[in-house]
């Protein structure tokens, strides 16, 4: 995987954000954060845009269709959790606009800031005090009645409950790697390595990396390891003749089903999306904080050379 520098200064850092699109978590009372955003935007001269079918938006926010919501904007602000952030990436990415996530849920691993730092983050946006990092995606080729898709976390192929095991063959650039019976297979972006793939025992990967993580889900057989593919390598997934039907999900949403004999192709999509960073600190700091990583009691107060901290 290529993990070279993926940060860049904002293109309008001197003037900061002046046009901001909003993506809201469904079925959540967001009156207080929306009032805060409205007051801030009026004070600093930022124009706000929201989806035209969103009834919770305060008066004065311009309405647009979702497909063009981010068009011409400097950033997209997601108010919610990881699901809302993924939706913001889908809205922002086609327009090459970065997204910033505000965690109003529980874990919010993909979100950059929490409610306590919300107003400070808005001020940073207005002043241009932020950077942009690129994120890889996964591109699913069209086929099996499913259109071409981009995932920002993962594609998951999983057995249908009550229908038996999934029997799959994995190919890399057309060459067979392995066949196995399992609950399915998880293909994750580096950003998505902390989601389903991590829960299944996969590696923790820097979100700045480029490539693809392939993780078998509860396989029956000797091969139970994650495989990491480089940018440009193609993963082929064949649903074998003896397989039960499988479902295909993109970022947690059902896309459809595949029967025995179906074949899918997935390719890492570099620079698929962009995210806003307003906090200092890198991957390790965020992983410790968001995933609750702690040291063993015997090492917590000492470094690895035995020096007391």
How confident is the model over 63-91, as pLDDT tens digits?
999 999 999 999 999 999 999 999 999 99
- pTM score of the predicted model: 0.88
Query: Which domain CATH number covers 167?
Result: 2.60.200.30
Confidence at residue 94, expressed as pLDDT on a 0 to 100 scale: 96
Angle at which helix 118-127 crosses helix 31-44, to 10 degrees, equals 30
Q: Which domain holds residue 228?
A: 136-271
Confidence at residue 92, expressed as pLDDT on a 0 to 100 scale: 98
Count of domains observed in the chain: 2
Confidence at residue 299, expressed as pLDDT on a 0 to 100 scale: 74
Whether 187 and 230 share a structural domain? yes
Confidence at residue 11, expressed as pLDDT on a 0 to 100 scale: 44
Q: Is residue 21 part of a domain?
A: yes
Whether 120 and 187 share a structural domain? no
In whole numbers, what is the pLDDT of the chain averaged over residues? 90
Residues of the chain with pLDDT under 50: 3-13
Q: Which of 74, 82, 217, 251 is catalytic?
A: 82
Question: Which residues touch 150 (CB under 8 Å, ≥6 apart)?
Answer: 90, 93, 137, 138, 139, 140, 269, 272
* Cα separation of the two ends of the chain: 35
Q: Is residue 299 part of a domain?
A: no
Confidence at residue 13, expressed as pLDDT on a 0 to 100 scale: 45
Q: Is residue 257 part of a domain?
A: yes
Our answer to whether residue 82 is catalytic in this structure is yes
């Amino acid at each position: 995987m290529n993990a070279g520098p993926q940060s860049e200064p904002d293109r309008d850092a001197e003037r900061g954000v002046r046009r901001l699109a909003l993506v809201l978590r469904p079925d959540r009372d967001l009156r207080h954060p929306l009032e805060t955003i409205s007051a801030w935007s009026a004070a600093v001269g930022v124009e706000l845009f929201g989806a035209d079918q969103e009834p919770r938006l305060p008066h004065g926010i311009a309405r647009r269709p979702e497909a063009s919501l981010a068009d011409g904007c400097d950033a997209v602000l997601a108010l919610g959790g990881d699901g809302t952030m993924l939706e913001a990436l889908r809205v922002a990415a086609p327009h090459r606009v970065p997204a910033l996530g505000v965690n109003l849920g529980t874990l919010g691993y993909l979100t950059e800031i929490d409610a306590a730092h919300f107003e400070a983050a808005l001020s940073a946006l207005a002043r241009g005090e932020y950077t942009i990092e690129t994120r890889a995606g996964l591109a699913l080729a069209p086929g099996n009645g499913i259109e071409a898709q981009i995932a920002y976390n993962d594609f998951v192929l999983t057995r249908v409950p009550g229908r038996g095991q999934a029997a799959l063959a994995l190919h890399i650039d057309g060459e067979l790697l392995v066949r196995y019976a399992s609950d399915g297979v998880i293909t994750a972006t580096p950003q998505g390595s902390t989601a389903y793939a991590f829960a299944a025992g996969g590696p923790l990967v820097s979100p700045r990396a480029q490539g693809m993580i392939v993780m078998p889900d509860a396989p029956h057989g000797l091969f139970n390891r994650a495989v990491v593919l480089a940018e440009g390598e193609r993963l082929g997934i064949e649903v074998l003749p003896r397989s039960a039907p499988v479902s295909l999900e993109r970022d947690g949403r059902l896309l459809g089903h595949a029967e025995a004999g179906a074949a899918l192709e997935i390719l890492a999509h570099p620079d698929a999306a962009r995210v806003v960073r307003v906090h200092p600190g890198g991957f390790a700091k965020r992983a410790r904080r968001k995933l609750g990583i702690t040291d063993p009691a015997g090492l917590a107060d000492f470094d690895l050379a035995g020096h007391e901290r």
